Structure 1
């Protein structure tokens, strides 16, 4: 494997891809078959990764897909579960905020001005800030994970890629399912969906989900442990087809999240921060401070998808409204001290609209064009406070206060993409998108420690604008019905903004830009019993937005230049219907070429959450048992070391780890019911998802991935 160290340019990527392809057979955990192609063959699944229906193997994108059966079989209801099943995908957490990294590209700016680097959407409805999104994934038809910049079709915040969650839709037959689960940490889960057709052209689907669990983090304060779960969600959908050409889908969802919420594990220190030591971390944690940490949030949304088939093309409109609210009492130092509390409050209201015209038919010329509009207004009220008495706290004593009743984010875009089959099987493809973004914040900040009296308020009225044209060029060669080769060049863009910096004020930062070169191949062999997909890529990444947390403040800096390159191999082998192997190998070489913060040059450091190696493998075998089947499955995920911050200090290092899951599932002969038992993270390895240290409150702080868990689920289908 030492030859990977000599990667240099596109030839190195191709050589590395060839080597991995030659020595490795396992690939990513893919979706199970939607329809069997032949006896013992691997089935296909339809996706909308390119905003039109295609099959996975004929979509010239590095995309991993899990369908409904795979989601249920693996018990996927969080992004942590998803990251174990997809190559080059990493999950991190900054308190309640979800951070996704794909191929070393991420955004850790979770402030009200920040943008994610990976576009997350449910049924095409984009999430600007996925608060509470991690624990409410339910009643899904499939999940699509697109790797690499998706700047043409998905827009400004898809520099790393996109994750599309596609919900199960209303159908024309009555039916549904109900699932109940129990596990350690007093886990109780419930999920149900019912499909009710009211007429031939009118159907409804109602879905509900609940998860309650004690915390992983032992706290022993007021009987509540940290890192708990307390979420309830419901979704209602109506599908109406007044004519054969016209269709409407209306969806409404509400989610409530309560409890203690994510907590930091703290280790106190005296004197300056020691960056060269990662302190010992006890998974059980220690007693938090007083008052007790808490979280309360609601997400509400309503969205409409309307389509009209003109024959030659289909017009699609997607629009809606989302309101996300949350309040939190967050213990920043993670210990019993009461002088480092963060009290954020947000009330974000999003409106978004997309209209798209897509060509129909199987002719040589395919095209689509559209417009997009997004507007968010957020009202934030945040204090960084201490409390006078840790045993019987009185009024908080504010150190810093931020009142921003008007935080605006607005984005407009126009886009188009087309392909032409010049000869049978060989297509040329091109796309373009123009995006224009605006951000503004009005209110005041106070860093004098006297904000509760109104003394020292500093008015804030600042804005930033940016725009970018992103492009896509590709050559796609379907040289046999089961073999595809593609070469493409894509660009991506993330809007600029501004940061609050102590004693300085608002400091602007520019947009970031990425150019990707990728070559890939998707293949089926051995009478459709072996699937082997390979991709190799190189990114030129300029002005990457890097978040730095220092003494209670988050500031964003533009890294001058980064270089990212890698190879991914995915495969599935199903020699007989009952036996299946799947797995993945992802190699990533990512580093800063030029990144200066103050007087320090960080060239040569790795971007956050960029392990050199990620390996995945799974095995399952279906056994006949009575009138049903018993399916044992084992799957494992390995990552080499990585860092949680650009500084690459030892205290920020995530050591190499493996995470193995065991599952045993019994399905009744008529698929009327199933029972599954599982153990997750068999190794019980400590994996950190956030790391920081501050002399302001004198502690190293960490967030941790879930420990070993076990449980069982019973599902009844009707």
Structure 2
């Protein structure tokens, strides 16, 4: 959604999805009657129920990915989980991490948006997960809980949750390790950890990490700027565990992450699609025509937490307090186009190609989030009654900024969303209990009450100045945003341009407000010269020349032409004042029955809610329409089984599910006039004076009810010769069943009014929901006395075709000849990964590994944004390979 704002106003997957069965060096085919119980298969721990239990005993769908298994195939961060868990989609959308699970998710990345899948780091809720990718070091496991988790995990867990669990300190243990890696794209990584005791009752664990690699993007145009997706990241974590008695434990933890590099611009396909070039004909979407300057990313994310556990006589107590501080700062000039034959000719404008490349229309996005959470929980994990009850509180303070410049524009000089005061508070009470009626049958009931409040104070501006010569007969060359340009951002001192308080905004006040939002003009900017003496309608005392064109001729303007006319447009600066309050109840009920100790059947109903919100104001400090929470109700029945099949240890789990998805929130780009009509007409909506009805803003509203259903089957075989074979298969159908007609937000009402109209989306497939998803891995460990231990894993993943927007690529105006610009379909594809390792016999503390991630270099869209001016695509990681050495001291 932040990308939507910018565009609007600026004009292989592998079977790690199933836990690998333990490999036994002495495994042979034997008489099943003499075999040990099937539960001798290694136990995989999951904490979906806020307690440790065997994944096979968990009556629901969850996936556990071990840190070592992820590392074995070159997984670097959270986005690399894309394609590794059936039903899970993770995309880096311009620096914003978007998580979708079984078709439920959110792409609203503004300060008002919330994710639909909750991300946790060691149990702490992250309202903004940017930068958390570099926390993928010294981790024990990643848990993906599929389906609503509203009762126990709470806020915004309608789709499910992702929990990153680091290794914790070990009492009485002295341990340390160091690991170094090199790979393609000049990748270099080093990480290490040390664990040491402090007496008998305390221990500390310290871990550090550094990763850098060159850009995955390559500028193949004449500008020669650096490409996107280069990284230079550092991170550290320290944890102190203190256990003075058997009953009391205290864990203190702090982590720090700094991600720098060139960020994520994506690739805008609008140019080739407008030329009739099929996206499949673009050989490499990361070979682009760059312009202006190299993108620059600086993300700083740190946090601290304290967890106290007390084992009481009647029940246990847990208290967790946390603080997270995130500053995401990114500025870029997006590439003009991917490379294809003839692209440079298509990009050549009136002033020549170099003038096109010298366009410094840039954007800068800043998210500064400070969040605090407190949770007090009482629980008892000893049967026959297992219960948990508690209270949760979260407060998030945000500063949010989005600015852009419109370089070389006669009528558009940029936008600014400057929100210094964005507050969110959420508190909840919950209780959940499981009772064993017999040693085989048990039931669970739970409920959670949540109340959310949100508010925002700030300003939004669209800067439009009519600039030119007399009668606009000549004189372009208006420059803003060139080298050295800096927005004021947080240092802006004027939020309300009506500085004299007379109720109107004069031209002088508009110019003063604009200048207050700029910390420093660029070396070749001239807009500051144009307004040096204030507004100059009809002429200026010393008008600047039409300057800084490559050819000395811009739009046939003579070299001695003068910028003699400059008038600020009024009605484009709006105070943003909004508030929202919502409350809702999540609940669940579940029944479980153990047919045998190794065969479980269950049925459950669970709900989850994603918080509601409000929109930008209609006009200056006008109303900010609200929307209600989304609700997902899951119905699921399943079975989990472990058994011997012809002497082979086997695991086979299956489930069928149905999600009732209510009040789904969609976001359109509507004119003020359309919003007013949508809300009941001018008589129902007060419109502030001087508000342009043609102005287009983003607008979110409850638009649709959908259904999501399917079946999932996963299993594994512990074969002879230490061979493991694991698989997971998901069939998923996600479709809109009842929706209002929604505005076709791929078009802009003030540019294409006949196409930015309301259309039906009934029957459309929900975005990011392939109908078929399959993962499989084949692994083997080969121990030898003479040569040490060899092991390897080969993995394959398949995703059938999927859509990336709710319109499914439909062209309502040209049904028989759809325009390529509206294409949002990603075709089905396979991906393959491989990893191998060797532990030499002379020292089992030494380890060598090699990996190839995405063997066939299958690069596909992870997200697509389509607006009036954009078809911007963000892609999965290209093929990476490397080798590493690890030593444990």
**Cα pair distance change 1:45/1:699, threshold 3 Å:** closer
SS in 2 for 1:622: strand
**Cα pair distance change 1:553/1:463, threshold 3 Å:** same
Following the alignment from structure 1 to structure 2, what is the Cα–Cα distance between the partners of residues 656 and 248? Answer: 49
**Cα pair distance change 1:646/1:205, threshold 3 Å:** same
Following the alignment from structure 2 to structure 1, what is the Cα–Cα distance between the partners of residues 25 and 85? Answer: 24
**Cα pair distance change 1:35/1:548, threshold 3 Å:** farther
Where in structure 2 are there 5+ consecutive unaligned residues?
A: 1-13, 29-39, 338-356, 465-509, 517-569, 671-694, 744-757, 810-821
Following the alignment from structure 1 to structure 2, what is the Cα–Cα distance between the partners of residues 111 and 632? Answer: 43
The alpha-carbon deviation at position 533 of structure 1 amounts to 1.1
SS in 1 for 2:615: strand
The alpha-carbon deviation at position 299 of structure 1 amounts to 0.3
Corresponding residue for residue 219 of structure 2: 219
Corresponding residue for residue 544 of structure 1: 664
Q: Contact conserved, 1:32 with 1:67, CA < 8 A, in 2?
A: no
Corresponding residue for residue 344 of structure 1: 365
Following the alignment from structure 2 to structure 1, what is the Cα–Cα distance between the partners of residues 19 and 844? Answer: 19
The alpha-carbon deviation at position 397 of structure 1 amounts to 7.2
SS in 2 for 1:447: strand
The alpha-carbon deviation at position 91 of structure 1 amounts to 1.6
Following the alignment from structure 1 to structure 2, what is the Cα–Cα distance between the partners of residues 270 and 98? Answer: 27
Please say which structure displays the higher CA radius of gyration. Answer: 2
Corresponding residue for residue 454 of structure 2: 439
SS in 1 for 2:246: coil
The alpha-carbon deviation at position 433 of structure 1 amounts to 0.3
Corresponding residue for residue 613 of structure 1: 772
Corresponding residue for residue 425 of structure 2: 410
SS in 2 for 1:289: coil
**Cα pair distance change 1:397/1:675, threshold 3 Å:** farther
Corresponding residue for residue 651 of structure 1: 823
Q: Contact conserved, 1:29 with 1:618, CA < 8 A, in 2?
A: no
The alpha-carbon deviation at position 688 of structure 1 amounts to 0.8
Following the alignment from structure 1 to structure 2, what is the Cα–Cα distance between the partners of residues 91 and 546? Answer: 19
**Cα pair distance change 1:137/1:29, threshold 3 Å:** same
Residues 1:127 and 2:287 aligned together: no
Following the alignment from structure 1 to structure 2, what is the Cα–Cα distance between the partners of residues 131 and 352? Answer: 18
The alpha-carbon deviation at position 330 of structure 1 amounts to 3.0
Corresponding residue for residue 18 of structure 2: 30
Corresponding residue for residue 558 of structure 1: 702
1:534 to 640, 651, 654: 654
Aligned pairs (5 A) from 1:270-281: 280=282
1:358 to 367, 372, 379: 379
Aligned pairs (5 A) from 1:248-267: 248-267=250-269
- Which consecutive aligned stretches of 4+ in structure 1 deviate over 6 angstroms post-superposition? 34-38, 270-279, 501-505, 549-552
For residues 170-196 of structure 1, give each alpha carbon's deviation from its aligned partner in whole angstroms, at most 9, with x where no partner exists: 012111221111111001111211101
Corresponding residue for residue 86 of structure 1: 85
2:859 to 686, 695, 715: 686
SS in 2 for 1:71: helix
2:718 to 574, 586, 596: 574
Residues 1:174 and 2:174 aligned together: yes
Corresponding residue for residue 515 of structure 1: 633
Following the alignment from structure 1 to structure 2, what is the Cα–Cα distance between the partners of residues 52 and 319? Answer: 18
**Cα pair distance change 1:72/1:34, threshold 3 Å:** farther
TM-score (norm 1): 0.90
The alpha-carbon deviation at position 467 of structure 1 amounts to 0.8
Q: Contact conserved, 1:28 with 1:584, CA < 8 A, in 2?
A: no
**Cα pair distance change 1:668/1:80, threshold 3 Å:** farther
1:452 to 485, 505, 514: 514
1:597 to 739, 742, 745: 742
For residues 4-36 of structure 1, give each alpha carbon's deviation from its aligned partner in whole angstroms, at most 9, with x where no partner exists: xxxxxxxxxxxxxxxxxxxxxx97643346897
**Cα pair distance change 1:134/1:645, threshold 3 Å:** farther
The alpha-carbon deviation at position 145 of structure 1 amounts to 0.8
**Cα pair distance change 1:37/1:634, threshold 3 Å:** closer
Following the alignment from structure 1 to structure 2, what is the Cα–Cα distance between the partners of residues 35 and 127? Answer: 36
Where in structure 1 are there 5+ consecutive unaligned residues?
A: 1-25, 390-395
Residues 1:705 and 2:876 aligned together: yes
The alpha-carbon deviation at position 693 of structure 1 amounts to 3.5
Corresponding residue for residue 183 of structure 1: 183
Following the alignment from structure 1 to structure 2, what is the Cα–Cα distance between the partners of residues 74 and 552? Answer: 46
SS in 2 for 1:226: coil
Following the alignment from structure 1 to structure 2, what is the Cα–Cα distance between the partners of residues 671 and 158? Answer: 42
Residues 1:479 and 2:584 aligned together: no
Corresponding residue for residue 9 of structure 1: none
Q: Contact conserved, 2:404 with 2:414, CA < 8 A, in 1?
A: yes
Corresponding residue for residue 492 of structure 1: 608
Q: How many residues align?
A: 685
Corresponding residue for residue 792 of structure 2: 632
Q: Contact conserved, 1:501 with 1:554, CA < 8 A, in 2?
A: no
SS in 2 for 1:90: strand
Question: 546-555 or 596-605: which moved more?
Answer: 546-555
Corresponding residue for residue 243 of structure 2: 241
Q: CA RMSD in A?
A: 2.7
Corresponding residue for residue 97 of structure 1: 96
Following the alignment from structure 2 to structure 1, what is the Cα–Cα distance between the partners of residues 850 and 336? Answer: 34
Following the alignment from structure 2 to structure 1, what is the Cα–Cα distance between the partners of residues 79 and 580? Answer: 34
**Cα pair distance change 1:240/1:675, threshold 3 Å:** same
Following the alignment from structure 1 to structure 2, what is the Cα–Cα distance between the partners of residues 401 and 433? Answer: 39
Residues 1:50 and 2:221 aligned together: no
TM-score (norm 2): 0.73
